[in-house]
Amino acid sequence: MSGEPTPYPPYPSFLCYVLVEGPVHGSGAVLPFVLAVQRTATPDDALRWLQRQARWVADRLDPDPAVSPWVVPAMRTDRVPVPDAPTEIRVWSDAPDEERAARARLDQGVAVSVVIPDGPDRYTFAICPQRAPVRRRPRPFIVLAHFLKR
């Protein structure tokens, strides 16, 4: 052993969260509300978690007509007449190009986020790389000196 400090990976964890911001009825205030938070060890785990959360949020806002058992064929349409937040969330979470771009940013230590509006509300899906301090091993002579003082 050389006695040199053993550094951790530059980004040993990733803080992932889903946030919704919207007006509080009757007060005029716009407040954030955290829907989910997770810390992961790898960018792949972070992206997988965020994609699952995005699909979960989209399905709670509006069940996916392609897979919902109670949607009959007559209810399915080819296009939505207006921009639809659940559809935008699903498209974003399933886009391989978006995933590759997000992975490249995370590898560089840059946070990734997407904000999707839904009327007066906004949904934020984000991953933030978290740095850790370099862990240094104590030098043997310092430890020995500490015990010799007793």
pTM metric for this prediction: 0.73
pLDDT number for residue 1: 43
Radius of gyration in angstroms for the set of CA atoms belonging to the chain, rounded to a whole number: 23
- Cα separation, 10 vs 24, whole angstroms: 40
Contact criterion met (CB below 8 Å) for 90 and 24: no
Residues contacting residue 145 through CB under 8 Å, at least 6 positions apart: none
pLDDT in tens, 61-113: 887 767 777 666 666 666 656 668 888 999 999 999 999 999 999 988 899 99
